[in-house]
A and B are shown apart, each in its own frame.
Chain A
Amino acid sequence: MAHFDTEYQRLEASYSDSPPGEENLLVHVPEGSKSPWHHIENLDLFFQRISFLHYNEQFDYVYNLHQKNGFTCMLLGEIFELVQLVFVVAFTVFLVNCVDYDILFANKFVNHTDSSKVTLPDAILPVDVCSARIRDNVFVIFIILISGVFWLHRLVKFMYNICCYWEIRSFFINALKMSMADLPYFTWQEVQARIVEIQKEHQICIHKKELTELDIYHRILRFKNYMVAMVNKSLLPVRFHLPLLGDTVFYTRGLKYNFELIFFWGPGSLFENEWSLKAEYKRGGNRLELADRLSSRILWIGIANLLLCPVILIWQILYAFFSHTEVIKREPGSLGARCWSLYGRFYLRHFNELDHELMSRLSKGYKASSKYMNCFMSPLLTVVAKNVAFFAGSILAVLIALTIYDEDVLAVEHVLSSITLLGVCITICRSFIPDKHMVFCPEQLLKVILAHIHYMPDHWQGNAHRYETRDEFAQLFQYKAVFILEELLSPVITPFILIFCLRRKSLEIIDFFRNFTVDVVGVGDTCSFAQMDVRQHGHPAWMSAGKTEASIYQQAEDGKTELSLMHFAITNPHWQPPRESTHFISQLKEKVHREASGGQQGILTDNAVFTSTHSLQSDSEPHSLIANLLMGPPSLSSLHLGREGSINPVSVGASEGASALRSLSPISSSIHLRGSYPSARLPRPDQPALAASRAMTGSGTDAQTISSGSSAWEGQLTSMVLSEYASTEMSIHALYMHEMHKQQSQGELSRHTWYRQESDESSESVNEDLESTRNFPRSSTFPCTTTPHQEGAAHHSSRQQRRHGGTTDSVPGSSRVQRTPRVPLGGWSEETRTGRHHDTVPEEGSEDELPPRVHKVRSVTWATVGSF
């Protein structure tokens, strides 16, 4: 043994369980074996670090510049923002101090000599009077002063930004070889691909040889990922239980600004610079002290908010007034329109999802969402609204008629204003009267919404028709009026939230940042959730069971890790995920493929179905096909198909979904393979969808391989198409995963009810069915050993079959096809029923029956997904 000179330390006798703090006394290990020297680097690297900082921010700027369509647009935008600020302040001051309202309202007569007309200049006070009034008014001067300071701050920031953006502009032009004029034609994916290329040549990030897409995303979204994770783990105090209003969500821009100020960039925040958490927050030792410090900081910021509250409030009111009044006057209905709430944006956002991706996703879901919300017209309100509209309308009609007869009526006092008011009233009432010709199916609509927004709480499924669900959805998708109101209230409420709610959470926040921050080489400290590592943060109920090692504290809720991973892998097909994640993705994709190929065979063996798909795809745009599929649940799809004018078996829904997915999946896989298109996957070249997709794929891969040389337009086109496909694929995967999750979490239950219904219809088929479900998993194409069950199924789905003339009966090998229609039908109604018991009935899984159940669940799920 080597001889050491180290001295022994006395280990104090402690017979009680030593509290954690005592360690420091006992043991001399060294404050900071993970110490400040962690981040000190070679002095020689110092200058490189500066450039690191530079480029760290640069990605942010690159993204912004790209999203703002180039330098000129961005410059103009910023300038106008500054001008707007000046204008709002100046105009308000002018309105308050320099207008003689008596003249304007004709309470006072102007003694003009030549005419009796009042002109606008008459109403304006002369300059000296005006300035004297301003000078006398201390409050106004105070406001002007504050806004002046604010404006100067903005101006400095603007200058700084301009410098940065100018550099980024030259970065675009020189390094990325994109001219500013062409910039709008490039998608972000292409810009990103070029950055990755550039890194290989120029080493813009010195810590790493190659940049991955994930690195770039991490840098741009560093803080947003934290916020998303904090919302996901319900760390931020944004949900409140109010005595009258019930559960509410209050999350405004002001609150968000304050959160960011506290956590990320304000003075004394947790981060010491753009990319690294302060060292002391990385150690658990003095967490209590740090939490104290944080909470006192929150207190001070809250107090500052409270003091500034009047100023901010006035600003908010003015801003809201100037920006919204005109719109409301023009179309009062816009107040009844909805928008995605700020909370919703954070709840629905994936980890590592850029703004434009999120916005396009949410915008796609907008129509379905508003339709869904419109389902819930209260009949009472409708009756009232109808009658109010009637009365208001009659008065309005009379007034208008009188005006038409003689326009002097308008000159009568308040006639014009009452006409305007009545008009507004009618418009509002009309928004409460549902469209007669609309057919609503909340459950399906919610599915369609889910396909776009990708997240929803478990208990919504099957409860789409309930008001509770609607109310909760309304938290994500709120009225614009509510949004504006919340923004107005925000300055008043924010300080109280900070002082009373956030402060209590300071210890949790400290723990959160310590536990969920990882240092990624070349990126700095990022939120560990954003690594999307299924192993670290997977949720066992979201198909990562067995792969995840996360404790409950570490699990991301709502399958965020899994869905984000899927989303990121689909949007960035070049990205190489870490091993476990690759495994997860490939497993999922394989599952989908297997189900899809089952469906594919169903199609190919079935001529009737084939023709029907043919007819469906007449409008050759793949996305609308998918849209059809998504919109078309069994009950609705018959409507759709009826419109198409061809008679289809219901099973078309299922196999369509499969084929759609299949026609999509070669694309993504061929991107991976860089053009090696698996021709074996194309059994029939004359099938339009596949042929089309092959064409797409061909061009897509060509574009991918030669994109650097190809013209901007071409790249633009193909990458647009590809991103469209990606989003569709993601939609389907999201639905699939949610289905899986649902089945996983309540599979046992649904099976029971399932059988009960089965036994209602034909008691002897129960056992057979049990057998057949056990057989089922052995081949994805469903063995033909299930004749008794087939009868049951046929019996069960006879309603459907009758409607469509029973075309599928004679089809060979179509037992799957026959089986599938039954599933959604029974499935839907059952799920609604079981969904209600979701909370009360505990899950009990008997272990020996687990494997068959799981398999059955998968097949059923696929069928349901496919039949949208």
Chain B
Amino acid sequence: MTARVRFKMISQIFILSSKGDHLIYKDFRGEAGKDSINVFYEMVTALSGDQPPVVMTHKDLQFIHVRQGGLYWVASTKTNPSPFTIIEFLNRLAALTKDYCGSLSEKSVRMNFALIYELLDEMVDYGYIQTTSTDMLKNFIQTEAVTSKPFSLFDLSNVGLFGAETQQSKVAPSVAASRPIMSSRGEQGGKNEIFVDVIERLSVVMGSKGVLMKADIQGEIRIKCFLPSCSEMRIGLNEELNIGKSQLKGYSSAVCVDECRFHQAVKLDEFDTFRILKVCPSQGEQTVMQYQLCDDLPCPPPFQLFPSVEKDYVNRVLIFLKLRCDLPPKSTALNVSVTVPVPKGAISMSQELSSPDQTAELQPKNKALLWEIPRFPGGAQLSALFKVDVPGLSSASLLEVGPVSMSFELPKQTCTGLQIRFLRLSPTQTGLSQRWVRYVTHSDSYTIRI
């Protein structure tokens, strides 16, 4: 017995904020001292680069951590467990926390520490993992989640006068989905909601002349289900969904995807013929389907950059960026940020931006300048001129103005064209349940070479 279980023993679990504050700390076996948190944090911060190794060792203690929601989720162990089990467990813990607390942030963890301790108590016993299933845990968890709901007029406007369908009742804010699954008895009515996210991540590398060099799309369909009990849910995808790589496609409106994976609970008996996923979701968030498309972008890349870099005076670099958004005119891109590496030793920058809501700042630490555009309508073209003062500028350092990376969010867009045709609950339930869908494409990495 020991041989089997020993590999899953966890000594401690703790959650740290990005600044190293102790949010949650639980010691299961008393094997390691409490200073291990500080040891871990020193090890993490001592490493340069964004991605410290997931598994780290200090003396005979091993730390395994994941980062979710800006927090460190760490498990320490003295034995030699399968790291993937622990990673999976930590991810699951984070997901559960999110389900129960509504959202995942330092604030929500702070406010719901009691709930999280309760969760941990049920999930892990003396270092042995017991269960991570939402359905099981639902029976044991009693604590109410505390949510900080800022009062906003927006919520009021959501209430249709005399039951009239207002514009708002067609749209739900993005925060609507981030509420705890165990909502208080008070607002139970009318909140049988299902949220479906179709999220695609774009990884694009573009050459200097707008040539697409690499383009991958990774997408997933996520369900967040607030129904107390649901027998079966049928999700219809586009009927013209092709899976598998083929070299040339006609202009049929087919959506093509290289490969896809499904959650283990998904029944696929109708998938081949009707592209319908059948799933019995438990409460909380689940990734139903993941898919990816490699080396192919069914739509043109959303942004094109036309840069020019010149040496102006002796110690000044002139960076002129022209950015065009190739989305259809009706849609917009949100939270666009452009990061341009600047030569080492840049001290100050002056800028000329085309509208006041844009911001730009020089980050000498990262040797980069950051240009942020909160809203970028499709078809528009923005330009910006940056004059960066670099003492001791040489012509070689012009070359340091390297590849531009962008991050953005494209609402109501899927690059592959994947859509949810319908979402049906069977047996045909009350009309009370509300279904929401959102499509987002965001940048995983979007790099444009200069």
Q: Which residues on A are within 8 Å of B, measured CB to CB?
A: 1-15, 18, 20, 23, 26-38, 40-42, 44, 277, 281-285, 513-520, 525, 528, 531, 533, 535-536, 549, 578
Residues of chain B within 8 A of A27, CB atoms compared: 419-421, 437, 439
Contact assessment for B172 and A4 in the assembled complex, using a CB-CB cutoff below 8 Å: no
Contact assessment for A44 and B306 in the assembled complex, using a CB-CB cutoff below 8 Å: yes
Bound CA–CA A44/B299 (angstroms): 21
User: Taking the complex as formed, is B171 at the interface, i.e. its CB lies under 8 A from any CB of chain A?
Assistant: yes
User: Taking the complex as formed, is B327 at the interface, i.e. its CB lies under 8 A from any CB of chain A?
Assistant: yes
Bound CA–CA A281/B423 (angstroms): 30
| Closest Cβ–Cβ distance, residue B194 to chain A (whole Å) | 8
The contact size tier of chain B is 35 or more
22 contacts across the A-B interface (CB closer than 8 A): A1-B104, A3-B174, A4-B199, A7-B171, A7-B411, A7-B438, A8-B177, A8-B195, A9-B438, A29-B412, A31-B330, A34-B298, A35-B299, A42-B210, A42-B306, A281-B251, A514-B252, A515-B252, A516-B250, A535-B247, A536-B246, A536-B247
Contact assessment for A36 and B328 in the assembled complex, using a CB-CB cutoff below 8 Å: yes
Tell which of B72-80, B114-122, B138-146, B427-435 binds the partner. B427-435
Write the chain A residue with the least CB distance to B198. A29
Residues of chain B within 8 A of A520, CB atoms compared: 248
User: Taking the complex as formed, is B257 at the interface, i.e. its CB lies under 8 A from any CB of chain A?
Assistant: no
With A8-B172, A11-B435, A518-B251 given, name 18 new contacts (CB 8 A): A5-B174, A5-B334, A6-B174, A6-B334, A7-B173, A8-B174, A10-B434, A23-B421, A27-B419, A27-B421, A33-B299, A34-B299, A34-B417, A35-B328, A283-B253, A514-B252, A518-B249, A531-B248
Contact assessment for A549 and B436 in the assembled complex, using a CB-CB cutoff below 8 Å: no
Bound CA–CA A10/B158 (angstroms): 13
Bound CA–CA A20/B419 (angstroms): 12
Contact assessment for A30 and B252 in the assembled complex, using a CB-CB cutoff below 8 Å: no
Bound CA–CA A284/B239 (angstroms): 12
Task: List B177-235 residues whose CB lies under 8 Å from chain A.
Answer: 177, 195-196, 199, 209-210
Residues of chain B within 8 A of A35, CB atoms compared: 299, 328
Residues of chain B within 8 A of A4, CB atoms compared: 174, 199, 409, 411, 438, 440, 442
B78-111 vs A, Cβ < 8 Å mask (1 yes, 0 no): 0000000000000000000010000010000000
User: Taking the complex as formed, is B126 at the interface, i.e. its CB lies under 8 A from any CB of chain A?
Assistant: no
| Closest Cβ–Cβ distance, residue A472 to chain B (whole Å) | 31
| Closest Cβ–Cβ distance, residue A520 to chain B (whole Å) | 8
- A6-B438, A10-B436, A31-B330 known; A518-B412 Cβ under 8 A: no
Bound CA–CA A18/B431 (angstroms): 17
| Closest Cβ–Cβ distance, residue B241 to chain A (whole Å) | 13
Residues of chain B within 8 A of A536, CB atoms compared: 246-248
Write the chain A residue with the least CB distance to B414. A29
Contact assessment for B412 and A6 in the assembled complex, using a CB-CB cutoff below 8 Å: yes
| Closest Cβ–Cβ distance, residue B217 to chain A (whole Å) | 12
| Closest Cβ–Cβ distance, residue B374 to chain A (whole Å) | 9
Task: List B390-437 residues whose CB lies under 8 Å from chain A.
Answer: 409, 411-417, 419-424, 428, 431, 434-437
- A516-B250, A535-B246 known; A11-B422 Cβ under 8 A: yes
Residues of chain A within 8 A of B251, CB atoms compared: 34, 277, 281-283, 513-515, 517-519, 525
Bound CA–CA A34/B417 (angstroms): 8
Residues of chain A within 8 A of B409, CB atoms compared: 4-6
User: Taking the complex as formed, is B169 at the interface, i.e. its CB lies under 8 A from any CB of chain A?
Assistant: yes
Task: List B357-388 residues whose CB lies under 8 Å from chain A.
Answer: 379
Write the chain B residue with the least CB distance to A37. B326
Bound CA–CA A40/B250 (angstroms): 20
Bound CA–CA A9/B194 (angstroms): 11
Bound CA–CA A42/B172 (angstroms): 37
Identify the interface centre among A37, A281, A517, A549: most chain B CB within 10 Å of its CB: A37
Residues of chain B within 8 A of A15, CB atoms compared: 424, 428
Contact assessment for A28 and B412 in the assembled complex, using a CB-CB cutoff below 8 Å: yes
Contact assessment for B437 and A6 in the assembled complex, using a CB-CB cutoff below 8 Å: no
- A4-B440, A5-B334, A6-B438 known; A23-B248 Cβ under 8 A: no
Bound CA–CA A519/B249 (angstroms): 9
Bound CA–CA A29/B421 (angstroms): 11
Residues of chain A within 8 A of B104, CB atoms compared: 1
Contact assessment for B239 and A20 in the assembled complex, using a CB-CB cutoff below 8 Å: yes
Bound CA–CA A310/B176 (angstroms): 71
| Closest Cβ–Cβ distance, residue A29 to chain B (whole Å) | 5
A-B residue pairs, 6 tightest by C-beta: A284-B253, A282-B251, A6-B411, A8-B436, A11-B435, A8-B172
Contact assessment for A10 and B169 in the assembled complex, using a CB-CB cutoff below 8 Å: yes
Pick the contact of A33: B68, B169, B414 (CB < 8 A): B414
Bound CA–CA A137/B251 (angstroms): 55
Pick the contact of A30: B326, B412, B437 (CB < 8 A): B412
Task: List B231-266 residues whose CB lies under 8 Å from chain A.
Answer: 236, 239-240, 246-253
Contact assessment for B330 and A30 in the assembled complex, using a CB-CB cutoff below 8 Å: yes
User: Taking the complex as formed, is B170 at the interface, i.e. its CB lies under 8 A from any CB of chain A?
Assistant: yes
- A7-B438, A28-B412, A517-B251 known; A549-B246 Cβ under 8 A: yes
